[in-house]
Amino acid sequence: LCSKTKPDIVILDWQQGSTLNPCLETLGFINREMKIPVVAFWWDHVWDEHIQVSEKIRSFVDLNIVVDTGSFFPKVCRPETYLFLWTPQDPRLYYTSEGPRDIPVSFMGRMEKIGRKAAIAALKHDEIGFYQSGGQRENRVSVQEYAKIFRRSKIVVNFSQSPTGSRQLVGRTLEATLSAALLLEE
C-alpha cells in the first residue's frame, strides 16, 4: 500500500496483542527502504509490555507520541524520540454548556481497575446523587452521550493511579475540565 500511495508519513497505532500490527520487516521496509517517517502513538504507556514493544520497534519509528504518562522516560533507551502530549478531544463534544448541571457527581469508566469499586460504592452509599456508567469498554455509551454526561456533571471523579503504580493523564481529565466540571482525583 505504501509503495502504491507513497504517503508522506505513516501513523502507527500499535494495539497490544492485535494481529493487525505490522511486522518488523514491514516497518523496516517502510521506514528505512522507502524513507517514510513513522510516528507511533501509545495510549497506555504505563504498562511495561507497551514500553517493551516500543523499544523493540524503536529503530523503525522516528517519533513516539505518548498521551497518558511521562513515567516511562527512565525506562526507554532514546527518550529524545518520545513526545509526551495529551489525548486530543473534540471541542464539538467537550465544552462548557449552558444546560443544567443536574448530575452532582459522576464517574464514566471501567470499574474493574484496582480500588475503583470500593471508592464508587462509598460514593453511592452516601446518596449524594452519584451517576456511574461505562466508558469506552465497559457498559458502552455513545461518545455523544458520554460527553453530555460530563456537561451535565458538577463533579467528575477520576482515578489517575494505574495498576502499575504510575499516574496517568487519561482522557477523562481533559473531557471533564473542558466540560467545566470539577475534576476530583485521588
Burial status of residue 160 (CB atoms within 10 A of its CB: 0-12, 13-18, 19 or more): middle
Q: What is the DSSP letter of 5?
A: H
Report pLDDT for 136: 65
What are the strands of the beta sheet with 38-42, ordered from one edge?
10-13, 38-42, 63-66, 82-84
Closest to 171 in 3D by CA, of 135, 141, 120? 135
Using an 8 Å Cβ cutoff, are 117 and 132 in contact?
Answer: no
pLDDT digit of tens for each residue in the chain (186 aa)? 999 999 999 999 988 888 999 999 999 999 999 999 999 998 877 778 888 898 899 999 999 998 877 777 777 888 888 888 877 789 999 999 899 999 999 999 887 776 788 888 888 876 788 998 876 667 788 999 999 999 999 999 998 877 767 777 788 889 999 999 999 988
Q: Is 109 left (phi over 0), alpha (psi -120 to 50) or beta?
A: left
Report pLDDT for 168: 77
